[in-house]
């Protein structure tokens, strides 16, 4: 993603875009166009309210992930310049935003942190999928409003998608919360 923008400019653009997306999605949800069943606490929690709830550290990975939307997919990739695969994206975002080092493969990553129930998920949590027959074959970063950011496949780019789609919804296998020790203490 060589757009001529500095890292701080891309980050600001990502933050502004996420704020706009949250406003748009919130407006659509208020109209009922994104109805997905009963209200779920985690999907209704705006990023701005995380700080008031003592969970500001969780928002940082969501914001960082969103700023990388459009970065090319590359198998084995783990940088914005070189591209990302799904686990490379997660490792990069968590290290940069929380200082947390995660294992490099999805299977190994599925044991990091602790499991979160659907109704307890928050922006910054990891979401795992079964896309190839194994319980943990794909991973993304939940950003709120039933949306997640991930690097889906060769030839594609880092994307924003909905958890409640007919493809992704049935393939969700787990949500996990991963945080550095200082963020974990803030949360508990």
Structural domain that includes position 120: 7-187
Sign of CA dihedral 117, 118, 123, 124: positive
For the chain, the domain total comes to 1
pLDDT in tens, 12-40: 445 545 444 443 333 333 222 222 323 33
Q: Is residue 2 part of a domain?
A: no
Contact present, 70 and 76 (Cβ < 8 Å) = no
Strands 159-162 and 138-144: unpaired
Residues annotated as catalytic are 86, 138, 150
Q: Where are the alpha helices (DSSP H) in the chain?
A: 7-31, 56-67, 86-98, 106-109, 181-187
For position 83, which CATH number holds? 3.90.1720.10
Residue count of the chain, please give it. 188
**Spatial separation of the C-alpha atoms in residues 39 and 29, rounded to whole Å:** 11
SS3 148: strand
Q: Is residue 1 part of a domain?
A: no
pLDDT in tens, 100-140: 999 999 999 999 999 999 999 999 999 999 999 888 999 99
């Amino acid at each position: 993603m060589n757009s001529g923008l500095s890292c701080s400019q891309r980050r600001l653009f990502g933050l502004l875009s996420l704020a706009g997306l949250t406003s748009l999605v919130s407006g659509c949800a208020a109209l009922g166009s994104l109805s997905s069943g009963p209200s779920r606490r985690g999907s209704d929690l705006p990023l701005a309210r995380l700080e008031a709830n003592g969970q500001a550290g969780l928002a940082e990975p969501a914001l960082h992930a969103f700023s990388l939307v459009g970065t090319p997919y590359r198998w084995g990739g783990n940088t914005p310049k070189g591209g990302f695969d799904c686990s490379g994206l997660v490792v990069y975002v968590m290290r940069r935003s929380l200082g947390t080092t995660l294992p490099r493969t999805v299977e190994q990553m599925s044991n990091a942190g602790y499991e979160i129930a659907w109704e307890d998920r928050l922006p910054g949590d990891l979401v795992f999928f079964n896309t190839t027959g194994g319980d943990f074959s794909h991973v993304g970063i939940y950003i709120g409003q039933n949306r997640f950011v991930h690097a889906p496949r060769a030839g594609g780019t880092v994307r924003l998608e909905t958890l409640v789609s007919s493809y992704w919804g049935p393939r969700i296998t787990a949500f996990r919360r991963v945080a550095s020790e200082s963020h974990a203490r803030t949360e508990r």
